[in-house]
Each structure stands twice: as structure tokens, then as C-alpha cells.
Structure 1
Amino acid sequence: MREPADVAVVGTGVVGLAVAVELLHRGLTVTVVGPRAGAHRGQGTRAAGAMLSTFSELEPHHDKQRAGLETAERLAAHQAYPAWLERIAAMGGDAVQTPAGTWVLAPAGRRLSLNPIADAARAAGHSVEEHDASSIPALRVPASSAGALWLPTEARVDTAALMESLSRAIEHHPHATWTTQAATSGSAGTVACTDGVTVRAREIVLAAGCGIPALLPEHGRPLGLPPILAGRGVSARLNAPAVELGQVVRTPNAAFACGVHLVPRTDGSLYLGGTNRLTLNADPEQAPVLDEVAVLAADVASLLDPRLGAATLREARAGLRPYTLDHLPLIGRTGEPSVLVATATYRCGVLLAPRLAQLVADEITAPGSLEAHPYRALRPMPTPRIDDVLAEGAAQDLLEHLLQGGGHLSPAQQAEFAAFADLALRALLEEGSKAGTAVRRLWQRAPVIEAVPALFVLARRLEAVR
């Protein structure tokens, strides 16, 4: 029987492979568990635009302390990236480029969304330029656009190239093995796989994203883990010969999602993303639906460049983004000390991968390193209250969500609808009707701001079948 590895890493997304590479670099033996090739359906990494968004994910309503914490970790990852890529190449991977430069375009009425992004960049000593939206090269933005920021240090990376480089570095390493079957469970000392093979290791790192709950007994309660939720995002690759884009262009976060964004790919195509929908049935096999692709198409044409409505679709795919109730990553030891997690990176997994890999490897090589870290797996995580979530502007975000695809209401009508939606959701959560009971049940399962659109739709559907 083969000697147990020092560590088994379950999951072959960017976080899992980054953890494996970091552990190998520190001299440990590692077994990676999960598919090497194939479609990787549902995997967040493979569906990602891979914008390295150090600042552009910030929003006006973000708490200053929370924004400072996240920005500090993103900056640490940003600073680690060049040396990390060089190390991967030295271990047998390919050279991977990170072309720099991101435009953030504020749609009509959203000029203030640029302020926290610009403020954070300047505070960190990074260059930021304010421009008229028409200054964005290669695009014919709508005349109503409110302004733009140029962030010359925010970069991008090609996910296919990055994942291939990480995979090769692991495969070439003499202390690495790779079990390409999917895991079915992970517990102290063992990982069971779909082909009946059992992988043994002294410590196990679960880095399978939204697939982690299915690996755990009783939904992870013995490990003390909080719920891991799934945000479903759909992306597309386009052929758009009329738009020769050289840098990332995105809008600020809106409507419970990252802003609509275009990312140039090395093959000449354009990556298009921007959707995010809470799903309580995290099925990796579910293909993109027409409504999701339609939202992307409408947003890119109405917010970035109307010519993109004539782009041809090369591919569409769905990815599942793992996140927690407090929207912070989940790393480190669980209630079973030999089982660690590295997940819940939400929309920043590709950027944060080298930073989280370093933190997890620190905990394995020096137990206790993460005891005070805000991302530690066993941190207190109070359930958000509906009052707090609605106070974050959820009703206004709901309106933006409903108006995706070019819908329009006057500013006065928008304010009236937002106020009504706020009151209606509070009333439904309090009343004892069938609709109120169903809405409360859904909120109890997913008490996060991303649930607000689902609460709205649920109430409407229940009313329709009465």
C-alpha cells in the first residue's frame, strides 16, 4: 500500500491547484483529487473572465472596515502574482501573461459608483485616471454614460493558460500524484473517489467550491462549517470583428452581480460576463439557459456598445461561485483538525488564489497561523437580518435587476418602486400567509442579499397559482 501523502487536495479549480503548488514548493508530498481534463462543467474557474480586480469590485454601500479588509487581501494577492507565475513556470508550467489595464464605465445615473473604486486605488498608491466615457478605445459607448475610470494596474489572465500551467507544474513534480476521479467524500485521513479508490493523507484540503457540501457528512455540521452557497454565473465568448478591444472594460457591480464586462482573449475572441444568480440547487451539469444569455446580450449592447448586439456567439457556459453568509473566503482548519477548507472566494478566486494558497500552506506547516485571520473557517458568522440586507440598497438593486435588458423607468418611478419593494418584502416575511411562509422558508435557507430577486419571483409565482 502506498504511503499516505502529507496532504490531499480535493478540487481542481484555481484555488485547489494553487494550494497544491504552494505545498509542493514547501517540500510536502501532495495528492490532487479531481478531473485533470474534460469539460469541468459548473467549475467557477473555467467559466471566469479572470479579471484581477484589486479595486473595481468595491461598491458605495460597502462598510469601510470590510472594504479595507478585502482590499488589503486583494493587494497582497496582486503583489504576489508575478513571483507566483514565475515559480509555476520554474516548476514545469508554461509562462503566463497578465496584460494590465482596466476601464470601469459608469452607466447613466451611476457616476457615484466610481468613487469608492478611485478612492481605494489612490489610497493604495495605485494610479487612477478619470475620463469621459467616450475616451474608452475601440468602444462606441452610449451617449448617456456617466463617466469612466482607467486603472492601469488592474490586469487580467487567461484562465485556460493559467490552469494548464498549474496542472503541468503539478504533474512534473516528483512529490505529486494526481487521482483524476472525482471525490465522493472527504473525512479525517481519507478521500473516497468515484472509481472506488481511497486516497489517504495526513491532512486533507477541501477546495472543491460549491461541491464541498456534498462531500461532507450531515452537510458539514460535524466540521463546524457554515453554509456554502452558490452563485450561478453565465459567460459567453464572442466573435466581434468590429470591436478590437485591447483592455478589460466593465461596469461597476450592480443588480446582485459583478458589472457586465468584456475581456479580450488571446485567440481574438471577447469574453462576456456579468450575471450572478443564487441557486439552491447547485447542479454543475445545468447548461446556460436562454434567459441568462439574453441578459448578457442586452446588457453589453445597451451599456457598453450597441454594435456588440451583432457579435456571433462562439460558446456559453455556466459556473458556480461558492460564497458564505458574510461573503468572505473560508480557509483553514475545521472542527476536524486534519481537514481544512479553501473556498468561498465568490467572484475573486483567480485573483486570490496565490494569497489563499500561501495562507493555507502556512497553517499546514505552522498550525495555528490562521487562528486570528478574518477568513478562518471557524470564525463567528451571525446570520444576516433582513433589515440589514434591505438597508444595503437591496430594493434598488432589485429594480436594476428587473430592468436588465434595456427596461426603463423615470427616476421618480424608480424611487417609488424601490420603496414599495422594500415594504412588500418586509410584510411578506412577517405575515402568516402561504406566500409569507414560503418567502420566510427561502430566506432561512439563504439569508443573503442575492436572495432578494428569488424572494420577489417566489412571491409573484405564488400569486400566479392562487
Structure 2
Amino acid sequence: MNASGKADGGNFDVVIAGNGVLGLSLAWILARRGQRVAVLGRPARPWAGSTASGAMLGCFGEVTTSLLASEHGRAKLELGIEAGRLWPQWLAELEEVTEGAPVKTARGTTVVLNTIGTAEIDDANYQAIRAELTRYEEPFEDVEPADLDWVDAEPISRPLRAFHIPGEHAVNSAALLERLEAAVVQAGGILVPEFATRVEYRGDRVTGVVLADGRRITAGHVTLAAGARTQELLDSLPVGPRIPRLVSGYGVSALIRTADGTAPDSVVRTPNRSFACGLHVVPRGDGQVYVGATNVISVDPRDTAEMRDLVFLLQCAHRQVRRNLWNSDVTKVQVGNRPVSMDGFPLLGDGGMRGLSVMTGTYRDGLHLSPLLAQDFAARALGEETRADVARFAPVRQPLRTGTREEIVDVLIDHQMGIGYEQDWTIPVEWHQWIEMDLRPGTLAWANGLDPEFTPPPELLFASRFDPELVSILRKYYATCREYS
């Protein structure tokens, strides 16, 4: 391997497949510890999630009643809380050793409850966020809607209540990636501008990877951190069928140069809704804001935006947050792919073969968790004591369950109905009840026909009704689970 990052053979201590925030963060720690480490991935990062993310450094703003309904969800929240404590020092160290654009872009997060949502989702999640902030003694303060000086929603979407979380910031994901790359190279790591297509192994030990151009790289340890594309690599391994399969949570975001050159100081967001991370506006400097984001389950990662998703996003932004965004310039449309496992939880830890680790399936939380997971996986590779409790998210596992089939269907129906209200549908008042009465038994019947034992998370169950390929993948995966139970 030469300094330009082109593979010419050679052996490494660790090869990391994936050059997103997770892979680069791990590489930075390992290279600083004297490990010979190579990070694989095309510089443009097609299909990545990091590049299109709003990069909100928060976990409380992501809290939902569904997350809190199971011990697995609460464990995931506590990982996020622990990661949040690491970010100030992590950013300080990164900015000390690299040069470039400022990484931090927002001071705190303001959560808005507006009139466009539903009580079952928005009100409940708004209260859940506040309850968890109180439980973990995280500071927050109520804000009068009239005092939200940058927010100027249309009257029928106006904010009813709001509170500010001073400790949940946001970063510029592009600047973060640029600095992480520089830090890895400065510490002696190698960036290989190609992605891996196959993991090689001998017996029960992995030995390296094969690149897309056919070249081979050998290593004592391989970490799979390629986001939604990790599935292709898992498919090359005998242990692959025993790991919850990955699909993409495809999302669209946009960078907007505001018409009046202003931007909020903090993140402005709603609670999570409509199978997604809620509507959020993040300042990006120089009169620009990031607007995100949609979430649609897709079997394969996408690199282009569907018109309906982009139109929906932009309409939500100007109606629910600031009306004069309608007169602003859209400078960039971004598409990202969140790695979503079949049970909706991360795949973290020993990959079931010697020398193999898996660090993906983080859905919307990968960037926020990156300092914590990087430290944890570096400790694993070095044979040291780990800090994060990720045992329940071990990749080789049976599906993690978050509730009964009926409870999962109830969540699905709530969000499906919420989509209609967020898109301002106009129906007779009593039709809400009629539609829900028909959707619930129909969806339950669909779930019963999908599998007699396992139920996927609400967003996967919803998507499966329109995607025969996803149905096939779920049924095959569940059959494999029974085979190894």
C-alpha cells in the first residue's frame, strides 16, 4: 500500500470496510494507537448516510414512546446519552490536530410541538422527550412560541409549545468527514479509494477483503462499517444468514440559502413522526440551512431522490417552520441511506468469525454514536476493556422484539394516519375513524400472513405491503432464524 492510498498488496492489522463517520472514527483511534489500518471506500461516498445527514448530536430529541417501550430501546437511548458526553472532547481533539471549516454549526436544539401533527404521535413523543430529560437530569427550558424569533410557520401549522435543550448541538457532516480523513492520514492510516465487495476467509477466520477492482487486501482483523452496503459483504460469509439482514432507510435532505440570509442559532425540530426523524432545520453558516429528512424503507440503497419525497420535504419546511423559505434557493439536494436491520436495532460487536467485527445497523444514530462506538471497537481490536454495553446488539442473534404484533400494528397505524395529516389531507371528520377501522384489521391480517411468529418493526411492516422483494427477504430471514433457534 503506498501513500496515495492505492492498494499494491500488503498486510494490515485492521481493515475497515466503510469510510463514513463510523469507519473513519475507528480508524483515527487505531492509527493513533500505532495500528496499521486501512479504510476502504470511494471518496464520493455513494449510498452513504453520513454525507446527507443533519448531524444532530442528540439522543433526547430522538426519543419516542416506541423507543421506550422495550428494554432494547432504552439500552439504545443510554448508548446515545453516553456518546453525548464524549462529543465535546472528541471535537476539541479533532479540531486541534486538523484544519478546515468549523465543525459545530448549532447551539442546542429547540423542539417544537405544532398543530400539524397528531396527539398519538406528536403530543406523546413531545412529552416522552421531556420525561427522559427529567429522568436523566439533562437541562432544558420551556420557550414561549411567540419567542421563537426565527420560526414563522403558516397559521394552521403554528407552534403550540416548545422547549430548548442546550446540550444537544449539531455539526456540519461534510466538515466532520473532511477533518476525520485528515486526522486518519496524519496519524498514519491509509485511505483506499475503493470499496470492498467480498470478505475472504479461511475456515472460521477472516483473512482480508477483495476490492471492487479485484485487488486483495489482507488483515488480521476486518471491521464491516459500510452502512447499508454492509449486507453485500455479509452475504459473502457463511455466518451472514444468522445476522439480521440490512435494508436502507432512504432519505432526502436539502441545503437552502435563505432568502433573507438568516438562520436559526439552534436546531429547530419536531418530535419524530411519519416513520422518520421529524422535520428539522439545522443552521449551516453563511445564510444556509439544512432541511431534513424523509425516511422510506428500500431493499437497495438509492442515490437519487424521488420527486414526491423532495416536494413533501420542502413543503413541510416552509409551512411548518418559516414561510419565506418558499422564496429561498435550494442549493443542493442530498440522498442518504441509513442502515436498518430486520429488527430495527444496531449490529455491534463480534461478527461470529475470528477476526470479524460488525459496526452498522445504527439507523439514524450512527453519527451521534461514533465517538463511543469507535472507542469501544478500538478497545476490542486491542484486547482492552470495553466501555459500551452493546452485548444485546451482538450481530449473530435472534430478532430483538419490542412488543406484541398488535402493539406493532398499533404504532404503524398511528404513523400511517399521521402521514395524511402532515400532508394536509382533507376528509370528513368521521372518516378518520372509518379508515383506521379498516386499516387495523387489514394490517394485522397482513402481519399474520407474513410470518406466524415474527413481526418486523412498523416501518418495515408498512413497506412490505408495497414491496414483494422485501416480503421475500423477511420470510427467508425468519425461516433462517427458526433454523438456528
2:328 pairs, out of 311, 315, 318, with 311
Note the residue ranges of structure 1 that are not aligned, 5 or more in a row: 432-439, 460-466
Secondary structure of 1:389 counterpart? helix
Q: How far off is 1:25 after superposition?
A: 2.5
Secondary structure of 1:189 counterpart? strand
CA distance 1:346–1:317, change in 2 (3 Å): same
Q: Residue 281 of structure 1 corresponds to which residue in structure 2?
A: 300
Amino acid at match of 2:342: L
1:73 pairs, out of 73, 76, 79, with 79
CA RMSD in angstroms, aligned pairs only: 2.7
Question: Distance between the aligned counterparts of 1:404 and 1:220, measured in 2?
Answer: 44
Q: How far off is 1:382 after superposition?
A: 4.5
1:447 pairs, out of 456, 463, 468, with 456
Deviations 1:97-142 (A, max 9, x none): 3532111111225333311111212222221112333322211134
Amino acid at match of 2:413: A
CA distance 1:309–1:9, change in 2 (3 Å): same
Q: Residue 145 of structure 2 corresponds to which residue in structure 1?
A: 133
1:246 pairs, out of 250, 265, 287, with 265
The answer to whether residue 431 in structure 2 is matched with residue 413 in structure 1 is yes
Say whether the 8 Å CA contact 1:134–1:140 is kept in structure 2: no
CA distance 1:53–1:349, change in 2 (3 Å): same
Q: Residue 210 of structure 1 corresponds to which residue in structure 2?
A: 228
Match runs of 1:46-445 below 5 Å: 46-61=51-66, 62-63=68-69, 65-92=71-98, 94=100, 96-97=103-104, 99-108=106-115, 109=118, 110-143=122-155, 144-174=158-188, 176-187=189-200, 188-217=206-235, 221-222=239-240, 224-242=242-260, 243-283=262-302, 286-366=303-383, 369=386, 373-382=391-400, 386-391=405-410, 393-409=411-427, 412-430=430-448, 440=450
Q: How far off is 1:444 after superposition?
A: 10
Amino acid at match of 2:81: L
Q: How far off is 1:10 after superposition?
A: 0.8
Secondary structure of 1:46 counterpart? helix
Deviates more, 1:350-359 or 1:443-452: 443-452
CA distance 1:172–1:445, change in 2 (3 Å): farther
Q: How far off is 1:389 after superposition?
A: 1.4
Note the residue ranges of structure 2 that are not aligned, 5 or more in a row: 1-7, 201-205, 469-485
Q: How far off is 1:28 after superposition?
A: 1.5
TM normalised by structure 2 equals: 0.84
Question: Distance between the aligned counterparts of 2:376 and 2:14, measured in 1?
Answer: 15
Q: Residue 12 of structure 1 corresponds to which residue in structure 2?
A: 19
Amino acid at match of 2:392: P
Question: Distance between the aligned counterparts of 1:226 and 1:64, measured in 2?
Answer: 18
Q: Percent of pairs identical after alignment?
A: 24
CA distance 1:216–1:454, change in 2 (3 Å): closer
Q: How far off is 1:429 after superposition?
A: 4.6
CA distance 1:409–1:121, change in 2 (3 Å): farther
Question: Distance between the aligned counterparts of 2:26 and 2:96, measured in 1?
Answer: 16
Amino acid at match of 2:27: A
Question: Distance between the aligned counterparts of 1:118 and 1:220, measured in 2?
Answer: 45
Q: Residue 480 of structure 2 corresponds to which residue in structure 1?
A: none
Q: How many positions carry a matched residue from both structures?
A: 444
Question: Distance between the aligned counterparts of 1:200 and 1:446, measured in 2?
Answer: 39
Secondary structure of 1:414 counterpart? helix
Question: Distance between the aligned counterparts of 1:253 and 1:224, measured in 2?
Answer: 31
Deviations 1:218-252 (A, max 9, x none): 57644732111210010011122235322111111
Deviations 1:59-109 (A, max 9, x none): 133316344322321121111112212333344455633532111111225
CA distance 1:166–1:371, change in 2 (3 Å): closer
Secondary structure of 2:265 counterpart? coil
Amino acid at match of 1:185: R
TM normalised by structure 1 equals: 0.87
Question: Distance between the aligned counterparts of 2:420 and 2:273, measured in 1?
Answer: 11
Question: Distance between the aligned counterparts of 2:464 and 2:145, measured in 1?
Answer: 35
Secondary structure of 1:8 counterpart? strand
Amino acid at match of 2:89: A
Secondary structure of 2:274 counterpart? coil
Question: Distance between the aligned counterparts of 1:220 and 1:14, measured in 2?
Answer: 27
Question: Distance between the aligned counterparts of 1:76 and 1:273, measured in 2?
Answer: 25
Amino acid at match of 2:13: D
